[in-house]
Amino acid sequence: GAVVSQHPSWVICKSGTSVKIECRSLDFQATTMFWYRQFPKQSLMLMATSNEGSKATYEQGVEKDKFLINHASLTLSTLTVTSAHPEDSSFYICSARDASTQGGTKDEQFFGPGTRLTVL
């Protein structure tokens, strides 16, 4: 099956610093990637949709200036949490849609293993 990787798998940072999380599709091209966050014991919450070569579309209530998303290639999207604070501590998960099946009956999303962010 298609593989999506995330780096780092976990990160601890001080309050006020910025953290970048990478999401890569390893064996397929992804014109669309998604970023989610998940707090303990809760479901995944969609933060934004990232389209290659264009600006990300953010869900209501998600601060675009705080969560910077870049999707510069068909295999890489990055999420930067700027000026992180303890309330940003969460499990961040990306997913990617295979461009070759996007929009068809085989359309599915492949998820990365997640990045656990802890802000002290």
For residue 15, give both structure tokens. Answer: 């309050």
- 32-55 burial code (b ≥16 CB/10 A, e <16): bbbbbbeeeeeeeeebbbbebeee
Among residues 25, 90, 112, 117, the one that binds other proteins under rule CB under 8 A = 112
The residues in 43-102 that bind other proteins, with binding defined as CB under 8 A, are 43-46, 49, 91, 93, 95, 97
Give the binding range for other proteins (CB under 8 A) out of 12-20, 60-68, 77-85, 106-114: 106-114
Q: Alpha-carbon distance 88 to 31, whole Å?
A: 27
At 44, which amino acid appears? L
Where does 14-55 show beta strands of DSSP type E? 19-25, 32-38, 45-51
Q: How many amino acids of this chain bind other proteins (CB under 8 A)? A: 24
Nearer to other proteins, 88 or 98 (CB): 98
Residues of this chain that interact with other proteins (CB under 8 A) are: 4, 6, 32, 34, 36, 43-46, 49, 91, 93, 95, 97, 105, 107-114, 116
